[in-house]
Amino acid sequence: MSNDNPIGIFDSGVGGLSIWKEIHQLFPCESTIYLADSKHAPYGEKSKQTIIDLCIKNTELLLSKGCKLIVIACNTATTNAIEYLRAHYDVPFIGIEPAIKPAALQTKTKKIGVLATKGTLSSQLFNSTTELYADDIEIIEQVGTGLVTLIENGKLNSPETVLLLEKYLQPMIVNNIDYLVLGCTHYPFLIPQIQKILPQHITIIDSSEAVAKQTLRRLQLHELKNSCAIKNTHLFFSNTNIEVMQSLLKEVYVAQYLDF
């Protein structure tokens, strides 16, 4: 595998662009290929086997395009499929899970909120991480039903989105959380709206920066880091309407339709 081959990134839609931005910022010399499987979003309400099958499809498409490392920029896909993918493919995989550990280590009220998909909150990986790092901490879990669909439809600032966020966050506020963990890569796009609802003392935390740093460590470990000698490229594909992806990419990059 050549060092100038791209990093592959996939998600159940545009949410993983929050991960892509951190990766690109940390090592801008790397080329990337991003797959938004928006046709099948959200993953969080599907069965484990369906999620694995979708991840196999995404992985094989990225491998066919020469990706040297694959980032699963989806909490639900990571928690349900990463073990299978690592067992069946030679390429390194980077997964993502809710940032329970840093929130648990820093909370003063011993209460943290987790906003995530049903598939993430019910997964074995989420439960084992919670038991490991937050045994003495109360976790207020909330399934963010409907939020991914609204984001995928470009309704970041819609009244419906704000109403859902208020419904999901108010019980956490009442329970005196001081950290809110965003357990879905789509949710960072809602941070401006979330900040208007939460009191200022509540810290919002997600996994984007940690995933980028782990990606860098794995590139170095496998000696796959690009030297910047070759001009990089960034490709963004969606299997549904590309307008939402394009709006998030602004005019800097071009979103393309791909039937997969």
Q: Which residue has the tokens 């989806």?
A: 74
Among 29, 67, 184, 228, the one annotated catalytic: 184
State how far the alpha carbon of 3 is from the alpha carbons of 30, 137, 197, 200, in Å: 9, 43, 44, 44
Among 29, 67, 74, 228, the one annotated catalytic: 74
Listing DSSP states for 68-135 in one string gives SEEEE--HHHHHHHHHHHHHH-SS-EE-----HHHHHHH-SSSEEEEEE-HHHHTSHHHHHHHHHH-T
Is 29 tagged catalytic?
A: no
**Cβ neighbours of residue 235 closer than 8 Å, sequence gap 6 or more:** 6, 32, 33, 34, 256
CA 219 from chain center: how many Å?
19
Which residues does the annotation mark as catalytic? 74, 184
